[in-house]
């Protein structure tokens, strides 16, 4: 494990000079720089950024905390974040909460122990203990939320206009001639799912469509019973001609059942999902869905965090991205 000390010994230079070389300080002659780099290469020197972090108070590591790695949306956003951060010379460490607020707390504390320079979070479905966010504020760790955020907080955020997403999806179904649309709703604890539902309801209202409570269809966590419930819904209301699901997977449930009942999609019933998950394009028929602009969200989140890290004056911003409807065969 060669250190700058070894390089100093071998070159006859001082520690300070070696350090300057690796920090791209302009105050070092080309000749010395050459010599240092040569010896460093010979010694297979690798800077110890832990030590640097200890001294400088900056770790150049930022923590990313998301509910689930194995989720198309989060994965894409993280990739966007990663890309930007790498350009800035930052490493990111990713942890998942698996939708547990206990784990969320644990991982955040773990981030703090690692002295991360900043934190990016998308919260769990379980309501988060608000004290943790206060703690983060006390510690003055820059924090940016994306997509999912706690009901009350005092940090910056980057979100999608989920209300708009729900509305354009529903409006599209209406434009395609649907008269009796059902919304497959998501978890009530998650604000973005609420927003999508409100978008749905508002679209119906704006078009003077009738609305009954059965048009908000709530799912359980059990796949099998979900399927049965949807099946019952269809027999109870045979004139249903459209579904807007809060997530692509749930759109898939519905498609699955409709296919097994030999219902013609899209001629008898049209379907729209949410998320533009990668499989949606491969389905038969391909699924109309709402694109969340994951990559852009990631980049924007990263940029926002960097602004907070670089400037001490704390200006909290709320940025809202606009979703985009991707029309495919399931509604056309």
- Report the interface residues with DNA, using CB under 7 A: 1, 3-5, 12-17, 19-20, 22-23, 26-29, 31-32, 45, 47-48, 51-52, 54-56
Site for its own copies, residues 141 to 200, rule: CB under 8 A: none
Interface with its own copies (CB under 8 A), residue from 5, 23, 34, 109: 109
Q: Which of 171, 126, 176, 120 is nearest to 308 (CA)?
A: 120
Burial label, 325 (beta-carbon count in 10 A; 0-12, 13-18, 19+): middle
Question: Please, what's the b/e burial string for 233-248 (b: 16 or more CB within 10 A of its CB; e: otherwise)?
Answer: bbeeeeebbbbbbbbb
Burial label, 214 (beta-carbon count in 10 A; 0-12, 13-18, 19+): exposed
Stretch that binds its own copies, among 76-84, 174-182, 268-276, 296-304 (CB under 8 A): 76-84
Q: How far is 168 from 327, CA to CA, in rounded Å?
A: 11
Q: Does 267 bind its own copies (CB under 8 A)?
A: no
Coil, strand or helix: which one is 181?
strand
Q: Which tokens sit at 329? A: 């065969």
**Least distance from C-beta 137 to DNA, angstroms?**
19
**Cβ(193)–Cβ(252) under 8 Å?**
no
Q: Does 259 bind its own copies (CB under 8 A)?
A: yes
**Least distance from C-beta 124 to its own copies, angstroms?**
15
For residue 37, the surrounding DSSP H or E stretch is: helix 30-42
Q: Does 117 bind its own copies (CB under 8 A)?
A: no
**Least distance from C-beta 42 to DNA, angstroms?**
15
**Least distance from C-beta 254 to DNA, angstroms?**
53
Residues that bind its own copies (CB under 8 A): 1, 44, 46-51, 53-54, 59, 61, 68-70, 72, 75-76, 78-79, 82, 91-96, 98, 109-110, 112-115, 135, 138-139, 249, 252-253, 255-256, 259-260, 279, 282-284
């Amino acid at each position: 494990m060669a250190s700058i000390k070894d390089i100093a010994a071998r070159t006859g230079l001082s520690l300070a000079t070696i350090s300057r070389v690796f920090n791209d300080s302009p105050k070092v002659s080309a000749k010395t720089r050459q010599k240092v780099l040569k010896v460093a290469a010979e010694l297979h020197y690798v800077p110890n950024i832990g030590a640097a972090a200890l001294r400088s108070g900056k770790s150049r590591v930022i923590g990313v905390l998301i509910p689930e790695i194995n989720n198309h949306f989060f994965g894409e956003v993280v990739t966007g974040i990663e890309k930007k951060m790498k350009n800035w010379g930052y490493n990111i460490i990713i942890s998942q909460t698996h939708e547990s607020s206990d784990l969320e707390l644990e991982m955040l504390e773990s981030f703090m122990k690692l002295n991360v320079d900043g934190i990016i979070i998308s919260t769990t479905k379980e309501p988060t203990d608000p004290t943790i966010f206060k703690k983060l504020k006390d510690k003055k760790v820059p924090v940016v939320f994306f997509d999912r955020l706690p009901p009350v907080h005092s940090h910056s955020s980057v979100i999608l206009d989920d209300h708009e997403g729900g509305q354009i999806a529903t409006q599209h179904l209406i434009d395609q001639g649907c008269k009796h649309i059902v919304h497959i709703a998501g978890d009530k604890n998650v604000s973005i799912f609420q927003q999508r539902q409100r978008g749905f309801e508002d679209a119906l209202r704006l078009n003077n469509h009738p609305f009954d409570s059965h048009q908000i269809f709530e799912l359980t966590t059990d796949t099998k019973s979900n399927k049965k419930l949807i099946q019952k819904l269809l027999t109870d209301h045979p004139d249903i001609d459209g579904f807007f699901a809060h997530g692509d997977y749930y759109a898939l449930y519905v498609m699955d059942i409709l296919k097994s009942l030999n219902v013609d999609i899209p001629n008898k019933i049209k379907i729209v999902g949410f998320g533009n998950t990668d499989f949606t394009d491969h389905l038969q028929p391909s699924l109309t869905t709402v694109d969340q602009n994951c990559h852009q969200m990631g980049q924007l989140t990263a940029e926002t965090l960097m602004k907070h890290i670089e400037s001490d004056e704390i200006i909290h911003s709320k940025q809202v991205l606009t979703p985009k409807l991707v029309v495919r065969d399931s509604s056309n």
